Every structure is written in C-alpha cells, then in structure tokens.
Structure 1
Amino acid sequence: MSSQPKIGDLHYFNPQDIEFSYSPSGALRFTLKDQYSVIKVDAGSCFPLRKPDKYIWVKDGKNNELGIISSIDELSSSSKKCLKDYLRKRYYMPNITRVDKLTEEFGLWYFDASTDRGPRQFIVRDPRQNIINLNQGRLLIIDVDGNRFNIDDYTTLNPKVVMMLDRLV
C-alpha cells in the first residue's frame, strides 16, 4: 500500500474507494482501497448542525487530515452504518421538547427539561455566549459541562421560558 497524503494536502475521497469499519478494540478504521489503511481515525462533519451528512473530514491518530467525504449517502451500506454510528456518538445532542422549569440565579441559568432522550437538569453559565440562536427559533444550548442541547423552535415552549429566552436571542 502506498503512503498517506502529505500534511496540508486537501483530498476529496471517491466514496467507492473507501471503507469504514471498527477494529477489534472498537476504534474507527479507515481504508482507501489499494492504497493504505489507518487503524484508528477520527471523523467529523464540517457543518454538524446544518449539513451533518455532508463534507465529512477524516483525520489519522496524529490529527493529520487525510481527506474529505462529500456525502455519507454515497458510501457502501456497511461503511455508511459505521460512520453514521460514530458521528451520532460524536455529536450526541438531545432535543429539548419541553422546559418544565427555568430559573436564573447569580448569572447561572438552571434548566429542568424534557428531551427526546429523557428528563435532564443542567446549568448554563454566561447564557449570552452559550445559548446560540441558529435560525428561525432554533437554539443550541451548551451547559457548564460542555453538553449540547437543541431546541427546534423555542417560541413553542411555555410563555415564561420564551420571555426569558427572548432577552438573549
């Protein structure tokens, strides 16, 4: 197998020439057919919120970018399943469906919310920086532990919560 791309080279992969799988240790493995294989890679979306299945970067264990995949949909079914599973874990972000209680104390915002993955209680510090209006009422919330939460349309929440969030967005 030949060598990997040089550092700094931007390379778009042909989806038919690449394969993703999991190594026995559970690491994401990448193979460029007839060229090289990397046992442990990292992958992520260039646009994880707006186009999560498009423009996927792949890096080796030393954080060197190997290349970009234009679309996950063009991969083989087994590679697509592996990569989607990996990205789902990487970008784990519960969707808030209801805010049962929202209080503010000493600059911290305390959320008691229902999500598509169960009830969650979390704290947001510096809400002007960590509650981000993405577009048309969609919010990205980052809590003090770095966890991310999504609200599809905050204007559909209870009026008290909407009034508090309106001050920020």
Structure 2
Amino acid sequence: MSTAAFSLERDAFGQLILIDAAGQRHEGVLPVRAHPVSAPLEGIALVGSDGHEAAWIEHLDTLPAGLRALIEEELESREFMPEIQRLDRVSSFATPSAWEVQTSRGPTRFILKGEEDIRRLPGGVLLISDAHGIQFMIRRLSALDRHSRKLLDRFL
C-alpha cells in the first residue's frame, strides 16, 4: 500500500485508527520500526490489533506533516532509548560502576554491570544496557567530546 493511500486519526481513547484507500477502518494500529537503531526513519509498518500489517511506510520523511506527526508521537510514547550526549563521570573503571551522563532526555545516573553490556553495532553505534535493562544509545562515538571519549575508551 502506498503511503498516500491511507489516513490516520485518533479515537476517544487516543489509539490510532487507520483508514485505508477502500475506506476500511483499522482500529488500534501501532507503528513498528523495521530497523529502530540503524534506520529509524525507514521501513515502518502500521500493525493492526490483529497483528497483521495494515500499511507500510518506506520512509517517514515522505509523509505529509500531519501523518508524520501522529506516527512520531506514537513511536515516542512506546520507545524509550535515550541518546547519551556526554559522559560527566564514572565512579570506577572496574565494573560495576556508576555513570553520570547527559542524554537527549536530560541528565541521569545508571549502573554499568560489565563491559559486555556495551555493544557495538554497525555504523559506529553503541548500545549500553544499565543494571535495570534500560538501553542507552551513542549514535556516533566521534560526536562525543574528548572527555567523554576518554572515559568511554576505558570500557571498550
């Protein structure tokens, strides 16, 4: 289905309703990213409450602003992966260690249990899991300031 062949609206409970080209209503649809880390704007399925794909979006940027805003709003409410923008302090270079960082969602502190909780992904992306299973992302290591890279290098 092409991205222009449907519309979206919210019901009284705030759930998304997709209206396809034939006028059929699909209630309770959820956007699901095919590649949430490596290509977050590409390949988004709108999945109905029955678990079947109701629409496919090749690239989020191709949608009209209103549709895009609804989908981004829904994704944001379901996904939580703050991006680390700066490392302020680590308690120790041995694990477990407490990290104080600045993220896209504000300052926070978490415990890194072990070096194995830092995963390298293609494209230079790092995923860091804290002691509670919350995932933090560093999209580009080179974008961090020198102090942050120096602290992080001790764990890589």
Which TM-score applies when normalising by structure 1?
0.75
2:39 pairs with 47, 51, 59, which one? 51
What's the CA shift for 1:48? 1.1
Cα distance change, pair 136–75 in 1 and its aligned pair in 2 (3 A): closer
| RMSD (Å), alpha carbons | 2.5
Cα distance change, pair 156–42 in 1 and its aligned pair in 2 (3 A): same
What's the CA shift for 1:17? 0.9
- Find the counterpart in structure 1 of residue 151 from structure 2: 161
- Find the counterpart in structure 1 of residue 127 from structure 2: 140
Residue identity over aligned pairs, in percent, reads 22
Q: Distance in 1 between matches of 2:133 and 2:24?
A: 35
Q: How many pairs does the alignment contain?
A: 153
Cα distance change, pair 146–27 in 1 and its aligned pair in 2 (3 A): farther
C-alpha contact (below 8 Å) 2:2/2:56 kept by paired residues = no
Indicate yes or no: 2:19 matched with 1:39: no
Question: SS at the partner of 1:19?
Answer: strand
- Find the counterpart in structure 1 of residue 60 from structure 2: 72
Q: Distance in 2 between matches of 1:118 and 1:75?
A: 29
Once the two structures are superposed, residues 137-166 of structure 1 have per-residue CA deviations (whole angstroms, 9 ceiling, x without a partner) of: 431212233322122316745265133222
Indicate yes or no: 2:91 matched with 1:111: no
Higher alpha-carbon deviation: 44-53 or 104-113: 104-113
Question: SS at the partner of 2:70?
Answer: helix
Q: Distance in 2 between matches of 1:72 and 1:164?
A: 37
How do residues 7-22 of structure 1 correspond to structure 2 at under 5 angstroms?
A: 13-22=1-10
2:118 pairs with 131, 134, 144, which one? 131
C-alpha contact (below 8 Å) 1:109/1:127 kept by paired residues = no
Cα distance change, pair 33–99 in 1 and its aligned pair in 2 (3 A): same
Cα distance change, pair 80–14 in 1 and its aligned pair in 2 (3 A): same
Q: Distance in 1 between matches of 2:34 and 2:132?
A: 23
Which TM-score applies when normalising by structure 2?
0.80
Higher alpha-carbon deviation: 59-68 or 19-28: 59-68
What's the CA shift for 1:134? 2.3
